[in-house]
Chains A and B, each alone.
Chain A
Amino acid sequence: MAPLLQVENLTIRFPRAEPVRNLSFEAGEGETLAIVGESGSGKSLTALALMRLLPRGAQIASGRIAFDGRDLIKLDARGMRHLRGRDIGMIFQEPMNSLNPVMTIGRQIGEVLRVHERLTGRAARARAIELLELVRIPAAEKRVDDYPHQLSGGMRQRVMIAMAVACKPKLLIADEPTTALDVTIQAQVLDLLDTLRCELRMAVVLITHDLGVVAQWADKVVVMYAGRKVEEALPGDLFDNPLHPYTRGLLAASPRLKNDFHYRDGALSEIPGSIVSAGGETGCPFRPRCAEARASCGHHMPPLTVPAPERLVACPFTVPVEAMPHAAAFSL
Chain B
Amino acid sequence: MSTTDIATLRGVATDRQVEAAEQPAPPTPAEAPSWSNMRAPDARSQQSAAVSVTNGRRALKVFLSNPNALFGTGFLAFVILIALIAPVIYPGDPLSMVGRPFLWPGQNPAFPLGTDSLGRDVLAGIVHGARISLFVGLVATALSLTFGVVLGAVAGYFGGRIDDLLVRLIEIFQTPPSFVLLVVLVAIARPSATTVTLAIAIISWPTVARLTRAEFRAIREKDFVVAARSLGYGHRRIIFSEILPNALPPIIVTSSVMVATAILMESALSFMGLGDPNVVSWGSMIGTGRELVRTAWYLTALPGLAIVVTVLALNLIGDGLNDALNPRFSQEG
Contacts and interface: CB of A to CB of B under 8 A. Distances in A.
A152 B40 contact: yes
B96 interface: no
B175 interface: no
Nearest to A103: B245
Nearest to B248: A102
Interface stretch (A3-11, A78-86, A118-126): A78-86
A258 B5 contact: yes
Interface in B209-255: 222-224, 226-234, 237, 241-242, 245-246
Contacts of B10: 215-216, 235-236
B305 interface: no
Interface residues of B, number: 55
B241 to A, nearest CB: 7
Interface in B10-42: 10, 12-13, 16-17, 20-21, 24, 26, 29, 31-32, 34-42
Given A148-B50, A188-B31, A112 B231 contact: yes
A199 B4 contact: no
B153 to A, nearest CB: 16
B324 to A, nearest CB: 14
A241 B23 CA distance: 36
Interface stretch (B51-59, B75-83, B97-105): B51-59
Interface in B188-227: 222-224, 226-227
B331 interface: no
Interface in A53-103: 53, 56, 81-86, 89-90, 92, 94-103
Contact of B54 (A95, A101, A180): A101
Given A82-B232, A148-B50, A185-B38, A216 B13 contact: yes
A236 B7 contact: yes
A85 B231 CA distance: 4
Contact of A136 (B29, B222, B230): B29
A163 B232 contact: no
A115 interface: yes
Interface string A145-177: 001110011110000100110000000000000
Given A239-B1, A240-B3, A182 B231 contact: no
Across the A-B interface, the 7 shortest Cβ-Cβ residue pairs: A153-B40, A85-B232, A85-B231, A84-B232, A97-B223, A138-B32, A90-B230
Given A89-B230, A90-B227, A153-B39, 7 more contacts: A53-B226, A112-B231, A149-B55, A152-B35, A182-B40, A216-B10, A236-B10
